[in-house]
Structure 1
Amino acid sequence: MLYLSSIMDIYNGEIVAYKIDDKQDQRLVNDTLNQIDIPEGYILHSDQGSVYTSYAYYQLCEEKSIIRSMSRKGTPADNAPIESFHSSLKSETLYINNQLNSSNHIVIDIVEKYIKNYNNNQIQQKLGYLSPVKYRELAA
């Protein structure tokens, strides 16, 4: 089984960092967070999974001057944007193409292609029918 740790910028819905691993542990989350430079004072929202409530995660957020925000227990709607993204990823790729039993290499390739396509080509009504990357580029 593989696990996806991802960070979405709520401004434009872009997946700005992600990592896939066969273990859902502190290293996976920390490696994902360490992929990007987050400006001081940014808010990082997560669920209340054990990796996000750990002291190691708390310390990393403190080091990066990130403000932690967590959803209420058992309330995925509090984290709707990323929950929706993960649901779409699974339903549009792995479930529809019956890829759940594929090799890890194939699943990783599918997920990486989906994220690249989502960021660069998936137009969104709320972004004026632009992709997340195009919206960010036009705003810069």
Structure 2
Amino acid sequence: MKKELCIDTVKQLREKYGRLEGSVLHSDRGCQYTSYAFRRELVTNGLIQSLSGTAHCYDNARMESFFATLKKEKLYQIPIYRMKREEVKTVIFRYIFTYYNTQRINSFNEGGLPPVALRTSKQLTHHAA
């Protein structure tokens, strides 16, 4: 991965969401994320960088698990190498927002609930109390 791709992503976030000050960006210690140019882009936009600690691979285990699931359940099942970037982004968006968050059984959550169902049940419980 190249640092330019990461820098472009931060720029796209700023264009899409406007102010980014105070947002936390978590990454591993890859050279693209530790480069001077990328860190300068984060500072320019007021982003706070959160890096995995050296030899502490488990602090990002949940995200690594999610990406492994995304790849196994969706990306490795279709010929993404023949698709345009926008098509792949649409596939990923649909997987996350119409399946993973709303329907897929999640072993990390209480009762195996999908994230949206878990949040909804917690809100209902909180309001009932």
Q: TM-score range by the shorter chain?
A: 0.5 to 0.7
Identity of aligned residues (%): 30
User: RMSD of aligned C-alpha atoms?
Assistant: 2.8
State how far apart, in whole Å, the 2-side matches of 1:55 and 1:76 are.
Answer: 23
After superposition, give the CA deviation of every residue in 1:24-66 in whole Å (9 maximum; x if it has no partner). 1011111112221353111111100001111011100000011
Structure 1 residue 68 displacement after superposition: 0.9
Does the C-alpha gap of structure 1 residues 86 and 25 become closer, same or farther in structure 2, counting only changes over 3 Å? same
Structure 2 residue runs of 5 or longer lacking an equivalent are 107-112, 120-129
State how far apart, in whole Å, the 2-side matches of 1:73 and 1:112 are.
Answer: 34
Q: Provide the TM-score with structure 2 as the length reference.
A: 0.64
State how far apart, in whole Å, the 2-side matches of 1:64 and 1:103 are.
Answer: 32
Q: 1:47 touches 1:73 (CA, 8 Å); kept in 2?
A: no
State how far apart, in whole Å, the 1-side matches of 2:116 and 2:90 are.
Answer: 25
- Aligned residue pairs total 104
Q: 1:30 touches 1:60 (CA, 8 Å); kept in 2?
A: yes
Q: Which has the higher strand share?
A: 1
Q: Provide the TM-score with structure 1 as the length reference.
A: 0.60
The answer to whether the aligner puts 1:51 opposite 2:32 as a matched pair is yes
Q: Which has the higher helix share?
A: 2
Higher Rg of the two aligned structures: 2
Runs (4+) of structure 1 exceeding 6 A deviation are none
Larger relative contact order (CA 8 Å, sep ≥ 6)? 1
